[in-house]
Amino acid sequence: MMSFMKGRVLVVDDDTALAEMLGIVLRGEGFEPSFVADGDKALAAFRESKPDLVLLDLMLPGRDGIEVCRLIRAESGVPIVMLTAKSDTVDVVVGLESGADDYIVKPFKPKELVARIRARLRRSEEPAPEQLTIGDLVIDVAGHSVKRDGQSIALTPLEFDLLVALARKPWQVFTREVLLEQVWGYRHAADTRLVNVHVQRLRSKVEKDPERPEIVVTVRGVGYKAGPS
């Protein structure tokens, strides 16, 4: 097995049995889990434990998962993976729009969960000294920074990965499926809403006019590509 960074994982879930089980599985895989059961206390716990990843149940007492997600995202780009029982409702889209990087539908297999968590943690451990340009943006891949006219733009790691994936091959049109595989690490076709929502989020940060995108261009019926430099 490849060696992975042993990460701290904050589990935000009110179901104690599930939380405990998650703990068992995560510890078994070498992660350091910490737990919080209440939405109101989630932010405090997050600040205290400074996790590398947050596992967040959408249905929580107190503040709901969406709100918690938004609060965490407001102060950190840490990967957030949602746990949801409803894959087909708007909850997923709302969750993704509020800042979650990925979601996993209950009931899931432990291996599936671990794979998702590792996929989210993995990208932070491959620094490649590389400088890319896309549109009028300059991307320092190793330094994890995106600048326009010297001004730094704050992106979450996932949005950064998405932008880098597009910028590395500006001649190529990426289908949503390809992006899911490259950025999210899905082998099989998954929910393309992930891509749509995160492209929107990325555009809202990097585009001058998100209504008329120039950095991440939609190719109708196919997918996305990087705008001309």
| Per CB under 8 A, 115 contacts another protein | no
Shortest gap between Cβ of 88 and another protein (angstroms)?
7
Residues 28, 179: Cα–Cα separation, whole Å: 30
Which of 6, 47, 50, 111 is the binder for another protein (CB under 8 A)? 111
Which pair of tokens denotes residue 221?
């019926």
The reply on whether position 88 binds another protein by CB under 8 A is: yes
Distance CA(168)–CA(103), nearest Å, equals: 26
Identify residues 3-22 at the interface with another protein (CB under 8 A). Answer: 15, 17-18, 21-22
- Residue choice 77, 110, 185, 210 for contact with another protein (CB under 8 A): 110
According to CB under 8 A, which residues from 20 to 59 bind another protein?
21-22, 24-25, 28, 59
Dig out the tokens for 93 from the structure.
């889209």
CA 21 to mean position of chain CA atoms: 23
107 touches another protein by CB under 8 A:
yes
d(CA 100, CA 70): 8
Do the beta carbons of residue 80 and residue 87 sit within 8 Å? no
Cα(178)–Cα(172) distance, rounded to whole angstroms? 11
Q: For the CB of residue 17, give the shortest distance to another protein in the complex, in Å.
A: 5
- Does position 1 interact with another protein (CB under 8 A)? The reply is no
Among the listed residues 5, 40, 50, 108, the single contact to another protein using CB under 8 A: 108
**Cβ pair 72, 54 in contact under 8 A:** yes
Secondary structure element (H or E) that encloses residue 194, with its range: helix 193-206
When the beta carbons of 52 and 57 are compared against another protein, the nearer one is 57
Q: Contact residues for another protein (CB under 8 A)?
A: 15, 17-18, 21-22, 24-25, 28, 59, 85-86, 88-89, 106-111, 113, 189, 221
